[in-house]
Amino acid sequence: EVQLVQSGAEVKKPGESLKISCKGSGYSFTSYWIGWVRQMPGKGLEWMGIIYPGDSDTRYSPSFQGQVTISADKSISTAYLQWSSLKASDTAMYYCARSCSGGSCHYFDYWGQGTLVTVSS
């Protein structure tokens, strides 16, 4: 069974750093892309970026380039999303999701349960 299990909820102060995780299981972690999607309170879905753990090829949405860093450790089948200096506007639910590779396969077939990040002084 394919599963993406994300790390737990976080409460942070503005200016602090944070790294959240997404562990894949039940499939070949290095053969699929892992994307990150933001959902601010009461709002829609926003694509942040994506990584191919097989070779660490990483792409970012122009809206999030330079604001976050996406990485992966294929030895433990885990992808990460990190911030160096959080802002109150980073308060949101963050989802990781799997995307197949190749051709026109640009969709997310499995999703993590989400990690709620709250940034407040």
Size of the residue set binding another protein (CB under 8 A): 23
Q: What is the DSSP letter of 14?
A: T
Among 3, 56, 101, 113, the residue binding another protein under the rule CB under 8 A is 113
Phi, psi of 88 (to 5 degrees): -60, -30
Query: Could you give the C-alpha distances from 26 to 64, 79, 90, 95, in angstroms and in order?
Result: 30, 15, 31, 18
CA 53 centroid distance within chain: 13
Nearer to another protein (CB atom), residue 3 or residue 17: 3
User: Taking the complex as a whole, how short is the minimal distance between the CB of residue 4 and another protein, in angstroms?
Assistant: 9
| Residues 60-99 as x/- pattern, contact with another protein by CB under 8 A | -xx--------------------------------x-x-x
Closest approach, Cβ 37 to another protein, in A, equals 8
Give whichever of 24 and 112 is closer to another protein, judged by the CB atom.
112
* Residues whose CB falls within 8 Å of the CB of residue 68, separated by 6 or more in sequence, listed in order: 36, 48, 49, 60, 81, 82, 83
Phi, psi of 51 (to 5 degrees): -135, 145
Asked whether position 25 contacts another protein by CB under 8 A, the answer is no
Residues of the shown chain interacting with another protein in the complex, contacts defined by CB under 8 A: 35, 37, 44-47, 50, 59, 61-62, 95, 97, 99, 104, 106-114
